Structure 1
Amino acid sequence: MDVKKRMDELILQINRYNEAYYQHNESLISDQEFDNLLAELQKLESENPLFAYPDSPTQRVGGTITKQFKSVKHRYPMLSLGNTYSEQELRDFDDRVAKGLEGEDYEYICELKFDGVALSFWYENGQLIKGVTRGDGTRGDDITNNIKTIKHLPLRLNSSIFPREFELRGEGYMPLSSFEAINEQKLKQGEAPLANPRNAASGTFKMQDSAEVARRNMACYIYAMVGDENPFQTHEESLIALNQADFPVSPTWKKCKSIDEVLEYIHSWKDKRNELPLNTDGIVIKVNDYEQQNRLGFTAKSPRWAIAYKYPSEIAETEILSISYQVGRTGNVTPVANLTPVYLAGTMVKRASVHNANEMDRLDLRKHDTVFVEKGGEIIPKITSVNLSKRKENTQAFIFPEQCPACGSTLVRQEGEANHYCLNEKKCPPQIKGKIEHFIQRKALNIENLGVETIDLLVEKGIIHHISDLYQLNEQSFQGLEGFQSKSISNILTSIEKSKSVAFRQVLFGLGIRHVGATIAEKLVQQFHSIEKLQKATLEELIAVPEIGERIANSLKEYFDDADNIQQLERLKEAGVQLSEEIKEIVLEGEALLGKSFVISGVFKNFEREELKDKIIAHGGKVVSSISSKLDYLVAGENMGPAKLEKANSLSIKIITEEEFLALLN
C-alpha cells in the first residue's frame, strides 16, 4: 500500500465529511464510519510522522498536553469597546461619528455581542499557525492546540484572496447544548456543575489536555479581520469573504444606513437573541468603511468608530441573609450581601455588591428583606431595591461597622468620600495580601506560578510581609508547607528571578501607589525615567506631566514621604528589580511628510517595519492599514502582498520604493 497516498485520500474524505456536517448540516456517513476513518488516519500518522500534516483533521480531536501556556504579544492590541445601555447615548455616538467624518456619508454594521471568550487567530500562507487569548489586551496565552479542536474553524484556506499574513478576531464559546450536557453528566456523578457558559468556555480553552477540549465541542464566531495587508475596503466585504471561505461568521449581522436603522435592529433582537445556541448580552455597532475607521481613530482604551449597546439587565427576587465586609488592598471596605441562591442571567447568584455605607442607607437594608438583584452589564450582581411589601415586622437594620473586620482598626471616612478605609495598611492582612497579589499580576511583575492561594498561605504563615520579601524566598521558605514539591518550588523561584527583568513602567504600576494605573505609570516613566528622579520631583513637576492632576501628584508625594516605602524600594533595588527605564519617544525630525498618508507592505533593506512607521511619523506623516482612494503613497518592499498592489493600481495610488521614500524625506 502507498501509505502517503492513502493518508491523502483519508484527509480529503474526512475534510469533505466535516464540511458537510459543520457547514451544511448534512451527515453523509454514520458516526461509526467516520470514527473508523479518523482512527485509521491517526494510526498511519503515528507510524509515519514524516507524512503528517499540521492541518490534518486529526488535530481536531486533540491529544496534546500543554503544561504551561506561553505568553504571546499581540501584533495588534485587542482593545475593549465603549458601551452604553442608553439609546440617546447611541445617538450621541452617531453625532460624534458624523462630526469626525465632516459630513461624509457612512454606514454601520450591526452584530450581536456574544458572551464568550475573545480570541485571536493568526494565519500565514493560508494556514492557521496560532490561537491566542485576549489576556490583558497587549499579551495573551498561546492556546493553539486547543483552538485547533474547534471543528468549524478552517485550519487551511481554500481561498486566494487573503494576504500571506493576517489575523482574525472572534468569540470562542461553549454552546448551550454542550454546557447543559456537561452539567447533566456532572450532577449524575455527584460533582459540582459548571457555573455558566462563559466561565466554562474560558476554563475549557485553558485546559492542559486538548483531547478534553475537543470532547466539549467548543465553537467560535469570527467578527473581524486585522492586519496591514487587508484586501477589503469595508467590514461588510470582509464578512462576506470570510463566510465564503468557510469561516464561522454569524449570519445575524446587518448593514444599517442610519442610527434609526441601528435602533430597529437592536429592538428586533431584544427577545429573538434568547433563541440562539449561545448567550448574548448586546449589540456591537461599527462604522463599515475601513478608511473612515482609520480617520476616526482610537482613544487610549477603545476605537472611536465602534460602540456596544447592552440590553437592560435581568432582575431576580431573593432574600438577603447577611452582609459581609471585604477589605481591599487600598484599605477600602466594601459590603457584600449574602443571599438565598437565585438563578439570574445564566448563573446561580449567591452574593451581590452593596458598594458602600451610603448605598446601605439608601436601600435601608434589613435582615431577611426580600430584595431585587440584577447583573450590572449582566456580569456583576448588585442589589437595586427592597420589596417593601414583603418586609417582615421588627426586622433588624444592617449597620456599617466602625472597626475593620480584618484587623480591628478604627475605620476612617474622608470628607466628601462614600467609602470607609482601614488605615492600618502595614498590619491589616487583607491589605498586605492584596498589595502582594497586585504586585505579581501579569500587568505588573508578571510572576507566574505564584498564585493567590500561595500568597495567602505565605502571608498567614508569616513568611512574607511585604513585596520585597518575595525576593528573599528560597527552598527552605517552603519547608513544612503542604502541597509544595521541589518542582513547584523551583518554578516559583524561577518566576521570581525572571521578574527582575520586567520593565520599570510595570514595576511602578505594581507598587500599588493609589491612583497610579498602568497608563499613568508609563507616562511617569516616560517623563522621569527612574525611581530616584520620580521621588525627587516636586508637586509642580508632577502636575506638569500630561494626565497627572493634583490627586495623583499628592498620592505620589505621600507614597515617597513614607519611610517604610523607601525601605521597600531599597530592598527591591538590592534584589535587582528594574527601577529605571528609557522609554523611546518619537522625536519630530521634520515636516517633509506632513499631512501625507502611507501604507507599508513587504520587506525592506534599511528598516524593520516598525522603524519605517516611526520614520514616517517623525516627519509628520500618518501610517494607515488599508488602501483607499484618499491614500497618498504605498511604500513597496520585497515580497509585498499582491492584493495590495492590485488595489493600489486600480485606485491609481502612487507606489514608491524604499529609495524613493528616502528621497521624499529630503
Structure 2
Amino acid sequence: MSMKQDPQAQALQALRNEIRKHDQAYYVYDAPLISDAEYDALMQALQKLEVDHPELITPDSPTQRVGGAPLPSFASIRHAVPMLSLGNAFEETDILAFDKRVSEGLRNDGLLGLADEVEYNCELKLDGLAIGIRYENGVLTHAATRGDGQTGEDVTSNIRTIASVPLRLQGENLPAVLEVRGEVLMNRQDFLTLNRQQDARGEKVFVNPRNAAAGSLRQLDPRITAKRPLRFFAYGWGDISDFTSPLPLTHADMLAWFSQLGFPLAQERRVVKGAQGLLEFYRHVSHVRASLPYEIDGVVYKVNQLASQRALGFVSRAPRFAVAHKFPAEEVSTQLLGIEVQVGRTGAITPVARLQPVFVGGVTVTNATLHNEDEIRRKDVRIGDTVIVRRAGDVIPEVVRPLPELRPADASEFVMVTECPVCGSAIERLPDEAISRCSGGLFCGAQRKQSLLHAASRKALDIEGLGEKIIDQLVEQGWVHSLADLYRLSVEKVMGLERMGRKSAENLVNALEKSKQVELSRLIYALGIRHVGETTARDLARYFGSLAALGQATEEDLLKVPEVGPAVSGSIRRFFAEPHNQEVVADLLQVGLQPKQVEKSSNDTLAGKTFVLTGTLPTWSRDEAGKLIIDAGGKVSGSVSKKTSYVVAGDDAGSKLEKARQLGVNVIDEDELRKILGLS
C-alpha cells in the first residue's frame, strides 16, 4: 500500500497541513484562527500519531522544531550569492543625494523618464541577526548567518526551532532552490520575560533584545535555542534557480510572494515615489517606532523595480539601489570618573573614558572612546565632568561633549602618558599626526599578535601554516613574546597546540626554518616599520644592501633613497633607535635569520615609471610581474591616477582598467610589458 493510500499517512499529512495553516495565520498574518488550547490539541494529536508510526516522521514535520543533540562547533557555509551590507545615511541631505544618484543612473540607462520619479519599496531596519535560509524543492535544508558576507556559520539546527520559519513552503510549482533572507529577532516583551526567567534561575541576563537574539541563535545546543522566543521576518533573497514560473517584477511583489509561501513580513512597509516619499516614510516610522513590538534602528529604501536594481548594480560591498536611513544616536549624560589609555594592535594610543555606568543605545555603558589627545583638548573634557555620551547600534560609545555648567571645582585636565603602559617603550607623536603611538612595535605585548601575523604574511617572511588562530594560541600560551621566539619552537611544543598533530607541527617548524633564508627586502617589510610598505622595503634593500647598514643609517642617508621623504626616514630612525626593537632585531639574527645581502641594482630601465597591475596575466602572477618592474627601477601602485605610466591588464580586469581608460592612461598586456622589460 502506498503512502497516499495508507490511512495513517493520510491522517498525518492532513494534521501537518492543518498545523501549517494555523502557523501561517498566526506568524505571517498575525490573525490566529483557533485558540492556543485548540492548537496544542492538534500538535498533541500529531505527536501521538508520529510516536505510533515513527517511520512516517519527516524532517519538515511541525514536531521536528525541537533541537537535537548539541553541536561540537558551527560549520561554515559559503553563500551562493554574497550577503552584502547596506550603505548608511543619517541626514535628509544624504537621502536627497541617494535619490539623485539613483535617478541619474536610471535615466542614463533609459529606465526612467526625465520627469518621472523613482519608485521605492520602504521597509523597517530590524535590529536583529541577518540570516539566509535555503529551501530545496520547498523543504528547508540549510541556514547560515551573514558572517563576512561570503561565508557564514551553519545554524540550520537552530533555525529549525523557530516557529515562524516554515520548514516546508506553501504552494505549488516552487523553485528547485530558493534562499530567503531576513532577520532573526526577539520582541521587547519576550526579551523582558526571558530576562526575568534567566535572573530567577541565577543565569546571565541579556543587555538588549538584539544580543539576546544573537546569543540564542548561536547556541551549540539547539535545545536551548528552542526554548528562546525568537522570531523571523523575511526581507530579501539570495539564490533562486530552476523556477519555471516568471518571478515578480518588483521588490514589493517579491515580498508578497514570500508571504504566500509562509514567511512573516514586518507590517510597516510602503511603496513610495521620489525623495519626499522616502522622507515621509521615515517621519512616519519615527512617530510609531516606540509602539512597535520589536527594536529597529532605522528604515531601508530599495528601488522597487527589479530590472532597475540589476541596472544600478553594486559598488564595493553594498548595492547602489538601496540605502539604510539610520535613526539619530541616543545620547545620555553621566559622570566621567577617569581617563585611561589603551594600546591598539597597531600601537595607536587611544584615551578611554571610564564612566559612571549608564544605559544608552540598548546597553549599559561604562567606557567610551575619546579618540585622541587633540579631541580631549578641543572638547575641553576634564576628569570629574558630567559628559554627554552617545551610542548608535554597534558603534563604540563616544563622549560627545562635557557640560561645563556642572563642572566640579576639582575637575582635572588629562595628561598624555609618555611611556607605553603595556611595554614601557616611548610613546611618539609626529607633528602632523593626531594619534600617539607606542614605538615598541616588535616588543609590545598589545601589538604582538598583529606584528607576528604581519611578519608571517606572504609578502614578508611567508611562513606557510602560521595563521591567526595558531598565533593567538602561541601568544596566549606565553610561548612567543617576540618574532625571534617563533624560531625557538620545537615540533613537540607545537604539537601541544589545539588541533595540531605531529605532521602539521613538523610542517610549521620546517616552514619557519625555510623562512630564515629570506630576501632582505622581505625582512625589512616583516619588521613592520611604520610607513615602510613592500615597495619602500625593496628600495631600502637595494640602496643599503644589508640590515646593519639600514639600522645605522642617519636621516640624511635615508633621504637619499628614492621615494623616501621626511616622514618615512623619521619613522625608520625612531624604529631603530628604540632599544626594545634593537634587542628583537639582534635576537632574530642570533636565532639564525640570514637575510640575503643585495647589491644596488644598476638596472634603471623603468626609473620614474609607475605601473598598475589588474586582472589575471597569462603566465606571470601579479607578484612576479611587480617584482620584475621594481627590479628594473619602476614602481608598482595599487591605484590608477593621472601619474600612472601604464596599466598592465589581464583577463577579468575590473574597475582599474575602466579608470585607466577614463584618464587616458596607457593600457598594455603582458606581451607589451615583456618588450618594455627587454624580455622578448
Q: Distance in 1 between matches of 2:85 and 2:342?
A: 28
Give a deviation string over 1:359-394, Cα, whole Å, max 9, x none: 111122222211000114563211100011110013
Q: How far has the Cα of 1:78 moved from its partner?
A: 1.0
- Residues 1:151 and 2:163 aligned together: yes
- Residues 1:226 and 2:319 aligned together: no
- Which of 231, 252, 256 aligns to 2:272? It is 256
Give the corresponding residue for 2:283. 267
Aligned in 2, Cα 1:63/1:46: closer, same or farther, shift over 3 Å? farther
Aligned in 2, Cα 1:159/1:453: closer, same or farther, shift over 3 Å? same
- Residues 1:160 and 2:172 aligned together: yes
Give the corresponding residue for 1:237. 253
Give yes or no for contact 2:361–2:392 (8 Å, CA) kept in 1.
no
Q: Distance in 2 between matches of 1:535 and 1:178?
A: 60
Select between 55-64 and 115-124 the one with higher mean Cα deviation: 55-64
Q: How far has the Cα of 1:55 moved from its partner?
A: 0.6
Give a deviation string over 1:332-359, Cα, whole Å, max 9, x none: 1111111111011211111111111111
- Residues 1:195 and 2:287 aligned together: no
- Residues 1:546 and 2:633 aligned together: no
Alignment of 1:238-317 (within 5 A): 238-317=254-333
What secondary structure sits across from 1:224 in the alignment? strand
Amino acid paired to 1:379:
V
Alignment of 1:125-140 (within 5 A): 125-140=137-152
Q: Distance in 1 between matches of 2:506 and 2:20?
A: 46
Give yes or no for contact 1:121–1:128 (8 Å, CA) kept in 2.
yes
Aligned in 2, Cα 1:418/1:62: closer, same or farther, shift over 3 Å? same
Q: Which has the higher contact order (CA 8 A, sep 6+)?
A: 1
What secondary structure sits across from 1:380 in the alignment? coil
Alignment of 1:68-107 (within 5 A): 68-102=73-107, 103-104=112-113, 105=116, 106-107=118-119
Q: Distance in 1 between matches of 2:293 and 2:440?
A: 50
- Residues 1:586 and 2:652 aligned together: yes
Give the corresponding residue for 2:621. 529
Q: How far has the Cα of 1:17 moved from its partner?
A: 4.2
Q: Distance in 2 between matches of 1:447 and 1:238?
A: 46
Q: Distance in 1 between matches of 2:75 and 2:138?
A: 23
Give a deviation string over 1:387-427, Cα, whole Å, max 9, x none: 11110013211112122111111112233221111121111
Q: Distance in 1 between matches of 2:382 and 2:128?
A: 36
Q: Distance in 2 between matches of 1:57 and 1:345?
A: 37
Alignment of 1:593-608 (within 5 A): none
Select between 361-370 and 431-440 the one with higher mean Cα deviation: 431-440
Alignment of 1:388-427 (within 5 A): 388-427=404-443
Seq. identity, %:
34
Q: How far has the Cα of 1:462 moved from its partner?
A: 3.0
Amino acid paired to 2:232:
C
Root-mean-square deviation over aligned CA pairs: 4.1
Give the corresponding residue for 2:551. none
Amino acid paired to 1:586:
D
Amino acid paired to 1:74:
H
Amino acid paired to 1:67:
P
Q: How far has the Cα of 1:265 moved from its partner?
A: 0.8
- Which of 32, 36, 39 aligns to 1:26? It is 32
Give yes or no for contact 1:376–1:382 (8 Å, CA) kept in 2.
no
Aligned in 2, Cα 1:181/1:299: closer, same or farther, shift over 3 Å? same
Give yes or no for contact 2:370–2:376 (8 Å, CA) kept in 1.
yes
What secondary structure sits across from 2:249 in the alignment? coil
Give the corresponding residue for 2:479. 462
- Which of 186, 189, 192 aligns to 1:174? It is 186
What secondary structure sits across from 1:101 in the alignment? helix
What secondary structure sits across from 1:208 in the alignment? coil
Amino acid paired to 2:343:
V
TM-score normalised over the length of structure 1: 0.71
Q: How far has the Cα of 1:29 moved from its partner?
A: 4.9
Q: How far has the Cα of 1:34 moved from its partner?
A: 5.2
What secondary structure sits across from 2:133 in the alignment? strand
Give yes or no for contact 1:410–1:422 (8 Å, CA) kept in 2.
yes
Aligned in 2, Cα 1:211/1:470: closer, same or farther, shift over 3 Å? farther
Q: Distance in 2 between matches of 1:209 and 1:448?
A: 29
Q: Distance in 2 between matches of 1:215 and 1:307?
A: 35
Aligned in 2, Cα 1:388/1:279: closer, same or farther, shift over 3 Å? same
- Residues 1:347 and 2:363 aligned together: yes
Alignment of 1:264-663 (within 5 A): 264-376=280-392, 379-435=395-451, 450=469, 454=473, 456-458=475-477, 461-463=478-480, 465-466=482-483, 469=486, 476-477=493-494, 488-490=498-500, 529=621, 538=630, 543-546=636-639, 585-586=651-652
Give a deviation string over 1:200-234, Cα, whole Å, max 9, x none: 22222111111111110211111113335571211
Q: Distance in 1 between matches of 2:179 and 2:637?
A: 40
Q: How far has the Cα of 1:284 moved from its partner?
A: 0.7
Q: Distance in 2 between matches of 1:174 and 1:77?
A: 25
What secondary structure sits across from 1:286 in the alignment? strand
Q: Distance in 1 between matches of 2:420 and 2:252?
A: 56
Q: Distance in 2 between matches of 1:73 and 1:516?
A: 35
Amino acid paired to 2:476:
L
What secondary structure sits across from 2:233 in the alignment? strand
Give the corresponding residue for 1:110. 122
Q: Distance in 2 between matches of 1:121 and 1:237?
A: 19
What secondary structure sits across from 2:318 in the alignment? coil
Q: Distance in 2 between matches of 1:197 and 1:493?
A: 46
Amino acid paired to 1:62:
G
Aligned in 2, Cα 1:34/1:260: closer, same or farther, shift over 3 Å? closer
Aligned in 2, Cα 1:227/1:62: closer, same or farther, shift over 3 Å? same
Aligned in 2, Cα 1:73/1:56: closer, same or farther, shift over 3 Å? same
Give yes or no for contact 1:436–1:455 (8 Å, CA) kept in 2.
no
Amino acid paired to 1:356:
N
Q: How far has the Cα of 1:476 moved from its partner?
A: 3.9
Give a deviation string over 1:2-33, Cα, whole Å, max 9, x none: 654554354344434434443444373555x7
Aligned in 2, Cα 1:142/1:348: closer, same or farther, shift over 3 Å? same
Q: Distance in 1 between matches of 2:505 and 2:14?
A: 47
Give the corresponding residue for 1:210. 222
Give yes or no for contact 1:448–1:495 (8 Å, CA) kept in 2.
no
Q: Distance in 1 between matches of 2:159 and 2:526?
A: 32
Q: Distance in 2 between matches of 1:391 and 1:93?
A: 42
Aligned in 2, Cα 1:440/1:343: closer, same or farther, shift over 3 Å? farther
Aligned in 2, Cα 1:53/1:140: closer, same or farther, shift over 3 Å? same
Select between 427-436 and 350-359 the one with higher mean Cα deviation: 427-436
Q: Distance in 2 between matches of 1:497 and 1:51?
A: 51
Q: Distance in 2 between matches of 1:163 and 1:235?
A: 18
Q: Distance in 1 between matches of 2:487 and 2:325?
A: 44
Amino acid paired to 2:239:
G
TM-score normalised over the length of structure 2: 0.69
Amino acid paired to 1:280:
I
Give yes or no for contact 2:170–2:260 (8 Å, CA) kept in 1.
no
Aligned in 2, Cα 1:56/1:437: closer, same or farther, shift over 3 Å? farther
Query: Structure 2 unaligned runs (5+)?
Result: 1-5, 512-524, 534-611, 644-648, 655-680
What secondary structure sits across from 1:359 in the alignment? helix
Aligned in 2, Cα 1:204/1:399: closer, same or farther, shift over 3 Å? same
What secondary structure sits across from 1:293 in the alignment? helix
What secondary structure sits across from 2:421 in the alignment? coil
